[in-house]
Structure 1
Amino acid sequence: MSVRAAVSDDALGRYCLQAFSQQVPASLAAFYRIDSQQQACDFLLQDMQLPMHRRYLEHYREYDPLQPGRCLALGRPVVSLRQGLAHLPPAQGQAYRGFLQRHQVVDVVEIIAQVGGRPLAGVSLLRGANLGEFRGEELDRLLPLHGLMQLAVASQPSTTPKPLANQELTPRERQIAELLRDGASNKDIARALAIGLPTIKTHLINLFRKLGVSNRTELVSTLYL
């Protein structure tokens, strides 16, 4: 069963996840949009538990060798974990492998869709030990699907999330807004930032006032959609 995590239009995401998973089996998968800073956001998760996803966003995203920007630098439409790790400092690669191992993930492959030279969406396929690492012929089977994915993304109305550019926000407010975008609850935010719930509520009140919104949905839409 898929878990929806703050994605504005998940029809395209469901289509891509189904197409890729049918062609090359995966234990876990995610579809995401890519913002103007080449950061993955607005995730649609398939069989991935939210605690794992949030741990990735809070602690391991910076170590990920398959971030959109890093994949684009390699110039490949389909990038394997092994290829990504080869261009990452060993200490960062070890930290990221440790995260994957804690969640019984043995391999990852990333597919990035570009339109007009700009990356707009991506798919992550993750495998557990029961499926093993992706084989070369499986990566080859993903290439035609990559082309179809680019056509599908190009046919969608422009929904690229806007970067968090409001200069009136404090660094802490920016952190909270980004966690809200990824579907975090007040308790999740308090745990991630090691601050109390009353403090979170105060920050939210200030965010609502600064942005002229009345709820979390309007806040995310104002900043990112």
Structure 2
Amino acid sequence: MNVIPTQDIAGHCLHAFTQLIPASRAAFYCVDRHLQAHDFSLQGMSGEMHRDYLDHYRQFDPLQPRYCVSSDLAVVPLGLAMARQPMRDSERYRSFLQRYGVVDVVEVFAHRDGQPQAAISLLRTVDQGVFTHQQLTQLNALQALLQLAVAHLPAHEDALSDLTPKERQIALLLRQGVSNKQLARELDVGLPTIKTHLINLFRKVGVSSRTELVSALFL
């Protein structure tokens, strides 16, 4: 089976899904063996919104893979997911969506060996309204295309393949538990540059800490 770059697969999948099921914003992401989302590809979504999500609201998102895996559904509507979590968490997540004009979200998952491998998140704004029953039915049919695309994704153990050489070097050093000062010495750069590299690397992988990064890439 040929391995196709994740970004290529993400671009084709996002285009196909949003052409058939209108959505103002969309995201494609991979799922690691710990059911954490990483390697986000965005369409129509601002970097500000995505950073806000990762930094402050991801923990309240009921559509995270670790919550959806138990549903045995390939297409998971926001309303169904919210009904399964504490009301306070749903309210906080709803406030985040409303801040960016989003009224509905649906997640479409593809699996490999019984585990989620990738997903597409589709977001609708007020002018589009919520997803209809017919559209959810269509997404269930489209899921087969996503499932086929996932067969060409790099396996979990190839998680480093999407990183640049410098990002791989930093990731490998982080696995050894080095400090920021040690990283600066190893790369022969200043501490502010190291902090910038780490922020960019965390966002690229879809994590918020060194521990999460090491888990996503190596465990």
Which TM-score applies when normalising by structure 1? 0.72
Amino acid at match of 1:55: D
Which residue does 2:145 correspond to in 1?
A: 148
Which residue does 1:106 correspond to in 2?
A: 103
Q: Which deviations, in whole Å up to 9, do the C-alpha atoms of 1:56-95 show, x marking residues without a partner? A: 0001000000001111111110000001100010000000
Give runs of aligned pairs for residues 126-145 of structure 1, distance below 5 A: 126-145=123-142
Q: Which deviations, in whole Å up to 9, do the C-alpha atoms of 1:15-48 show, x marking residues without a partner? A: 1101111111001000001112111111000010
Give runs of aligned pairs for residues 106-125 of structure 1, distance below 5 A: 106-125=103-122
Contact 2:6 2:153 in 1 (8 A): no
- Is 1:224 aligned to residue 217 of structure 2? yes
- Is 1:180 aligned to residue 201 of structure 2? yes
Please tell me the root mean square deviation across aligned C-alpha atoms, in Å.
Answer: 3.1
SS in 1 for 2:175: coil
Instruction: Say if 1:77 and 1:178 are closer, same or farther in 2 by CA, change over 3 A.
Output: farther
Amino acid at match of 2:175: N
Which residue among 40, 64, 69 is the counterpart of 1:67?
64
Unaligned runs of 5+ in 2: 161-170, 184-194
Q: Which deviations, in whole Å up to 9, do the C-alpha atoms of 1:127-155 show, x marking residues without a partner? A: 00010000111000011211121111113
Give runs of aligned pairs for residues 1-225 of structure 1, distance below 5 A: 9-158=6-155, 161=159, 166=175, 168=177, 177=198, 180-183=201-204, 224=217
1:156 is displaced (CA, Å) by 3.1
Contact 1:28 1:125 in 2 (8 A): yes
Q: Which deviations, in whole Å up to 9, do the C-alpha atoms of 1:161-210 show, x marking residues without a partner? A: 3799826257xx9x9847523149xxxxxxx99xxxxxxxxxxxxx9xxx
CA distance in 2, matches of 1:57, 1:148: 28
* Structure with more helix by fraction: 2
1:9 is displaced (CA, Å) by 2.9
Contact 2:38 2:204 in 1 (8 A): no
SS in 1 for 2:29: strand
Instruction: Say if 1:90 and 1:12 are closer, same or farther in 2 by CA, change over 3 A.
Output: same
CA distance in 1, matches of 2:32, 2:116: 8
Unaligned runs of 5+ in 1: 1-7, 185-191, 194-206, 208-219
CA distance in 1, matches of 2:6, 2:148: 17
1:118 is displaced (CA, Å) by 1.7
Instruction: Say if 1:152 and 1:16 are closer, same or farther in 2 by CA, change over 3 A.
Output: same
Amino acid at match of 1:166: R
Name the count of aligned residue pairs.
182
Taking only the aligned residue pairs, the percentage that are identical comes to 41
